[in-house]
């Protein structure tokens, strides 16, 4: 486990480019920032982020993620920034981002996304930046995109 920059008991967990194949289970529950980018993580399992309610920044970009189970991110109740860019995600399931009421930045660019189900962005009321460029999207149903956010595609 690599913990960098402890502040008042909270910390930054960094395992970038560490040849990980799954999200480590030893991440402390009071961790503010988690960086597991540049690894070989192929999927996000249901319990990967349970009890990580203090986390405000999660970077799992530049992996090989091809599936994200519904509710896998639900334990990240304080999350402000989520970076899932540069993976192999083909499809976004309904309510995959449910339980992230404070998320302001969502990076989904450079994936293989060709479909987005309705209600994917439901509950992301604080969302200010959404990046979905460089995917395989050809049409978007207006109901899928948040009405409060102009989205560059």
CATH of the domain at 119: 3.80.10.10
Domain count, the chain: 1
Q: Running DSSP on this structure, what letter comes out for residue 135?
A: S
Find the mean pLDDT for residues 85-102.
93
Contacts of 147 (CB under 8 A, 6+ apart): none
Model confidence pLDDT, tens digit, residues 8-67: 456 999 999 999 999 999 999 999 999 999 999 999 988 889 999 999 999 999 999 999
How many CB atoms are located within 10 Å of the residue 31 CB? 19
Q: Show the domain range for 102.
A: 1-153
| 3-state DSSP assignment of residue 31 | strand
Instruction: State the pTM of this model.
Output: 0.88
Tokens of 105: 């930045």
* pLDDT above 80: residue 117: yes
């Amino acid at each position: 486990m690599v913990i960098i920059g402890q502040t008042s008991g909270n910390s930054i967990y960094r395992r970038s480019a560490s040849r990980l194949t799954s999200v480590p289970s030893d991440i402390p529950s009071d961790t503010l920032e988690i960086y597991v980018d540049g690894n070989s993580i192929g999927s996000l399992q249901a319990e990967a982020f349970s009890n990580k309610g203090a986390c405000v920044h999660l970077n799992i970009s530049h992996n090989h993620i091809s599936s994200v189970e519904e509710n896998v991110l639900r334990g990240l109740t304080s999350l402000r920034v989520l970076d899932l860019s540069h993976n192999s995600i083909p499809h976004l399931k309904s309510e995959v981002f449910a339980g992230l009421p404070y998320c302001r930045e969502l990076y989904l660019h450079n994936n293989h996304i060709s479909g987005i189900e309705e209600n994917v962005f439901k509950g992301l009321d604080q969302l200010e930046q959404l990046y979905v460029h460089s995917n395989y999207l050809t049409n978007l149903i207006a109901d899928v995109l948040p009405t409060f956010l102009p989205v560059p595609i």
